[in-house]
């Protein structure tokens, strides 16, 4: 059987445009081992509460830039790395780009293997819409938090404006003002 590139990837050491949720579900349910054969990195911030992809590694986008070197060192032997945020429109793609560029530097130095960096199309929002009832794919899902979504958070922030203005760079505020 020929060695096939995973469907969410475009080739070694390149950031994919997107990966479909069902493709990731297929990888998770295969005989591949998470954190060895593939790794899903969730870069959502405080919006991580309410559920996540089973076996994913959570690294907040707020901390990502400072942690990318260590992350690359820890994952240099993992051939498939899949990034996502809530919608995979901003935080997930940005983290994937930074990670891919950093990991490419290792490959140039001969300290890394060929790898694929993917971005989950639609982010956790689309993934949970399709698979939230499958405990082999999604864990800690709380529909009340997911359904409340950004509207609920916006209402909270507009009614607690003084608290927000006292610490405008809090990760909670940044998480819910970011669209990705």
CA distance 22 to 29: 10
Phi-psi sector, 52: left (phi>0), alpha (psi -120 to 50), beta: beta
CA distance 64 to 110: 24
Centroid of chain to Cα 154: 23
- 8, 85, 118, 153: the active-site residue: 85
CA distance 56 to 73: 18
Two tokens, residue 111: 């300290």
The helix/strand/coil state of 140 is coil
CA distance 165 to 45: 19
Two tokens, residue 42: 């969730």
Question: Scanning the structure block, which residue is given the tokens 């800690």?
Answer: 140
**Is 85 annotated in the active site?**
yes
Two tokens, residue 3: 């060695």
Q: Which residues are catalytic?
A: 85
């Amino acid at each position: 059987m020929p060695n096939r590139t995973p469907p969410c990837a475009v080739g070694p050491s390149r950031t994919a445009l997107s990966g479909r949720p069902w493709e990731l579900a297929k990888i998770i349910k295969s005989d591949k081992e998470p954190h060895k054969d593939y790794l899903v990195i969730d870069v959502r911030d405080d919006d991580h509460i309410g559920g996540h992809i089973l076996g994913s590694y959570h690294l907040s986008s707020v901390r990502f830039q400072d942690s990318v070197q260590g992350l690359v060192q820890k994952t240099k032997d993992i051939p498939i790395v899949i990034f996502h945020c809530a919608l995979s429109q901003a935080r997930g793609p940005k983290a994937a780009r930074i990670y891919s560029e950093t990991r490419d530097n290792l490959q140039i130095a001969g300290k890394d293997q060929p790898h694929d960096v993917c971005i989950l199309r639609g982010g956790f929002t689309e993934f949970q819409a399709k698979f939230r009832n499958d405990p082999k794919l999604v864990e800690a899902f709380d529909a009340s938090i997911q359904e409340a979504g950004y509207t609920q958070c916006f209402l909270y922030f507009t009614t607690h404006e003084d608290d927000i203005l006292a610490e405008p760079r809090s990760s909670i505020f940044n998480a819910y003002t970011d669209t990705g």
